[in-house]
């Protein structure tokens, strides 16, 4: 209930800020001209002074106006991306995905910091139990402060994406955006190409029945993966959604491989899935089984013995691209970028940490 109230309040703030921005455009106010005080804005909007002040704060965050005490506001020049300044970048990622998939590896953060050398980049691990409270508190501090804050969201829930979108704070999703969410820039990997590449590999190996192991919590990008699988895969498919605990993955794998006609290949969402399948395969003494990993986020110098899909760029370069895209968002430009992927068949004997 409290989250719903917060959400409605944020929606109202953004709507009021949009009305003020439209008023500036309609009146063709030029940079350097004065704009409303809080009292004038409250009268124009027909809301309380505190509510009007919040909307003006958001316009200030967008670099549309600059406010000074008792003098109202002054219209600013549009900010080109190369002159955009971000004081604080909040890198938000679910704790469980960081631990199991390695998202947000040091290289990505180094790349962001190299592109934004004067920004504070803080890593915020979201927990399922307190995610909404954490996000709400970050939004409150960002809106109330005098600094320019921005968010990068990785594996954030629909609720988190919605709350940050409604806040009007510049934000970027590194991954996939849920349907119905607006006001974000997006940098995502090419999910359809990942399926095409793995499909080509398994076809050349003569595989006919593929078991697909996905995590049990479905994220926005998974829908693109499912669409590509169902529309373009030539195989018989067995789809399973598992928790990230080893015991659960191994139990599901036993169930699949103990059938009389079991799959001859596994397409695993994460390295953890692949390691579990491999342990069960060895225990059951099944040798003719391909194991491919769909999502890998390897650290510098790390590799894996499994054929896998990886973004065709090093982590620091990805981080720099995130930084550039975020600067564009602060300057008012909304962008979408798809990162190409490649299929890697490692040399024998190379093993990744898990």
Give the CATH class of 191-311.
alpha beta
Please tell me whether residue 237 adopts helix, strand or coil conformation: strand
Which pLDDT belongs to residue 96?
64
Please give the pLDDT value at position 116: 87
Catalogue the E-assigned strands of the chain.
34-35, 65-68, 72-75, 88-94, 120-126, 149-154, 171-174, 185-189, 209-215, 236-242, 265-268, 290-293, 308-311, 336-339, 341-344
List every span in the chain annotated with CATH 1.10.10.10.
2-78
Nearest-angstrom CA–CA distance, 64 and 78 = 7
Whether 125 contacts 335, CB under 8 Å:
no
Q: Please report, for the chain, how many H helices and E strands are present, in that order.
A: 12, 15
How confident is residue 288, by pLDDT bands cut at 50, 70 and 90? very high
Q: Where in the chain is the domain with CATH 3.40.50.2300?
A: 82-188+314-339, 191-311
Cα distances (angstroms) measured from residue 319 to each of 175, 193, 326 = 13, 22, 11
Position 81 pLDDT exceeds 70:
no
Question: If you ran DSSP here, which 8-state letter would residue 215 be given?
Answer: E
What proportion of the chain, given as a percentage, has pLDDT over 90?
A: 35
Could you give the percent of the chain with pLDDT greater than 70? 88
**165 contacts 151 by C-beta, under 8 angstroms:** no
The pLDDT of 334-340, averaged and rounded, is 93
188 near 221, Cβ under 8 Å?
Answer: yes
Fold that domain 82-188+314-339 belongs to in CATH: Rossmann fold (3.40.50)
pLDDT value at residue 354? 33
Give pLDDT, residue 130: 86
pLDDT at 205 over 70: yes
pTM: 0.76
CA pair distance 135, 195, nearest whole angstrom:
33
Answer yes or no: is pLDDT of 51 > 50.
yes
pLDDT confidence bin for 352, thresholds 50/70/90: very low
The DSSP string of 310-353 is EESS-HHHHHHHHHHHHHHHHTT---EEEE-EEEE-PPTT----
206-250 confidence digits (pLDDT tens): 999 999 999 887 778 888 888 888 888 889 999 999 988 999 999
CATH pick for 2-78 out of 3.40.50.2000, 1.10.10.10, 3.30.70.20, 3.30.460.80 = 1.10.10.10
Whole-number average pLDDT of the chain: 84
339 φ, ψ (degrees, to nearest 5): -90, 125
Q: What's the pLDDT score for residue 275? A: 94
């Amino acid at each position: 209930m409290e989250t719903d109230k917060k959400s409605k309040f944020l929606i109202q703030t953004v709507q009021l800020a949009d009305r003020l921005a439209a008023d500036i455009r309609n009146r063709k106010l030029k940079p350097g001209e004065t704009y409303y005080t809080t009292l004038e804005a409250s009268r124009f909007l027909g809301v309380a002074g505190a509510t009007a002040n919040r909307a003006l704060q958001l316009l200030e965050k967008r670099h549309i106006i600059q406010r000074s005490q008792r003098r109202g506001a002054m219209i600013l020049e549009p900010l080109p991306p190369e002159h955009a300044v971000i004081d604080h970048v909040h890198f938000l990622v679910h704790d469980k995905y960081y631990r199991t998939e390695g998202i947000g590896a040091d290289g990505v953060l180094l790349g962001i910091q190299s592109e934004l050398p004067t920004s504070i980049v803080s890593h915020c691990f979201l927990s399922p139990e307190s995610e909404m409270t954490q996000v709400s508190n970050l939004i409150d501090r960002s809106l109330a402060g005098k600094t320019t804050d921005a968010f990068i969201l990785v594996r954030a829930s629909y609720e988190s994406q919605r709350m940050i979108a409604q806040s009007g704070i510049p934000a970027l999703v590194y991954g996939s955006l849920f349907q119905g969410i607006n006001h974000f820039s997006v940098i995502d990997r090419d999910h359809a190409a990942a399926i095409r590449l793995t499909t080509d590999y398994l076809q050349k190996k003569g595989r006919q029945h593929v078991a697909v192991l996905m995590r049990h919590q479905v994220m926005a990008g998974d829908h693109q993966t499912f669409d590509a699988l169902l529309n373009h895969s030539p195989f018989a498919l067995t789809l399973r959604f598992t928790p990230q605990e080893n015991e659960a993955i191994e139990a599901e794998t036993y169930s699949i491989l103990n059938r009389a006609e079991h799959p001859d290949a596994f397409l695993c969402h994460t390295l953890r899935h692949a390691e579990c399948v491999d342990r069960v395969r060895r225990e059951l003494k099944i040798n003719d089984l391909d194991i491919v990993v769909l999502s890998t986020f390897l650290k510098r110098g790390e590799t894996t013995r499994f054929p896998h899909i990886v973004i065709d760029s090093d982590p620091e370069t990805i981080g720099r691209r995130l930084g550039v895209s975020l600067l564009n968002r602060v300057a008012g430009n909304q962008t979408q970028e798809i990162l190409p992927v490649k299929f890697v068949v490692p040399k024998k004997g190379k093993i990744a940490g898990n």
